[in-house]
Amino acid sequence: MSSTITLSSETIKFDKLKDGVNHATSSDGKLKLSAHVTAGKVTELTATGSDGKSLAVTTLREAESTGKVTCWTCIDYGFGRICYEIDCGSLPSPKPIS
């Protein structure tokens, strides 16, 4: 089964992150992204669609040879993934592979 990944031209930004759950919404209002913050660090990102159902979230860090790093949050809508650029500071730390 193949999956389509679309890179959106939209950047989703959170206001100043504080401990607890912080929300940001896509410009069309169809996606609510939540950053769960503990002790000043993002521990988890979750997403909710316009129908109120949870959506799977994947985060990516893209490093260019110039040293520039771009971070993406990809949301699985069932028909494919749409990736939104996001501030790298809004991403949780990578989890170790066990």
Q: How far apart are CA 62 and CA 72, in angstroms?
A: 8
Nearest to 30 by CA among 80, 91, 77, 89: 77
User: What is the per-residue pLDDT for 19?
Assistant: 94
Predicted structure pTM score: 0.75
pLDDT tens for each residue of 25-80: 888 888 999 999 998 888 889 999 989 999 999 888 888 888 888 888 889 888 88
Q: Locate the domains of the chain by residue range.
A: 5-90
Over residues 47-60, the pLDDT tens digits come to: 999 899 999 998 88
* Distance set, CA 48 to CA 35, 44, 65, 77 (Å): 12, 14, 34, 10
